[in-house]
Amino acid sequence: MPADKIALFRRLFRGRNDVYPLRWESTKGTAGYSPACGNEWKAGVCHKPKVKCGDCPQRQLLPMTDQVIYDHLAGKHTVGVYPLLTDGSCYFLAADFDETDWREDARAFRQSCHELHIPAALEISRSGNGAHVWIFFADPVPAREARQLGAALISQTCDRTRQLSLSSYDRFFPNQDNLPKGGFGNLIALPLQRQPRAQGCSVFVDENLVPYPDQWALLASIRPRPRFELANAIMRATGGRHPLDVAFVAEEDEREPWERPALVSSRISGTLPESLTLVLANQIFIKKADLPQPLANRLIRPAPRMPGCCAGSAEKK
């Protein structure tokens, strides 16, 4: 494979270079990812499963290299990437969609990106039962800002289509603003792995979910956005409101709170229930079936999921 293709791949799907997750499958049929280790299963050195990888003093994390990427694309193994860098920044944001309505919702999210002039690539996941929409940045941007952009796009899609399923949108990659202590954050499988690609999965598709005939030409056409464009993109997506209708005041607005213009929150259209039943425990629980979609859109917040342990994480799909 030409070196320029590997360079292009690494430029777009850029995460941590000092460690990468490697996919494994057990004899019982379970699968997941663990940080690649140079001492894994070495006799007298590796004591799995008695000793967890995160607690092992002999763990030797392997770095991401051109050869690792080549072997992934050639089908010798399957690897992912940890998008959250040690300083809390990232080079891409990916939105994950699954469940029954993933096709319609992923297409709607991608269309929102297109309408707001945010280059995005839609990938069918390796299982074929979900999709990822990738947004790339030319510079490392704070994960918080990247996730704000994603939240704004979710809101814009909900407002535009009134049909984005809360069960279809699953999470963002990265799904944390800061690196968890002792961990690497969540991971995402890299696309274009040979075996699923042969089945029409792990490939990029157009608005009709038809794979592009030349995947590399598509990737080469993507122009990652610089950080300074993020704020404008968020404001375009929200019509001047903060993502998901959260009250927002720009950091540079140094006026006293009572001197600032009142924040206008659009009224929710449609019929609303007279009351809702809430369950108060460690969180507040509300049955989604009781919520009209516009109200659910106003309440929902893309919250960080609990990251997998540093020893690895089970494969979701």
> Considering only CA atoms, which of 123, 106, 87 is closest in space to residue 12?
123
pLDDT of residue 48: 75
pLDDT at 89: 97
Catalogue the E-assigned strands of the chain: 21-25, 31-35, 80-81, 89-97, 120-124, 131-142, 169-173, 188-189, 204-205, 278-280, 284-286, 313-314
**Per-domain residue ranges for the chain?**
84-247+282-298
Q: Write down the architecture of domain 84-247+282-298 according to CATH.
A: Alpha-Beta Complex (3.90)
* C-alpha triplet 19, 184, 243: angle, nearest 5°: 125
Q: Look at residue 260 in the predicted model and tell me its pLDDT.
A: 47
pLDDT mean by block of 10 residues, the chain; 317 residues: 94 97 88 84 72 72 96 96 97 92 92 92 95 97 94 83 64 91 91 94 96 98 93 83 46 45 55 87 80 68 36 45
User: Is residue 215 a contact partner of residue 203, using CB atoms and an 8 Å limit?
Assistant: yes
pLDDT of residue 156: 83
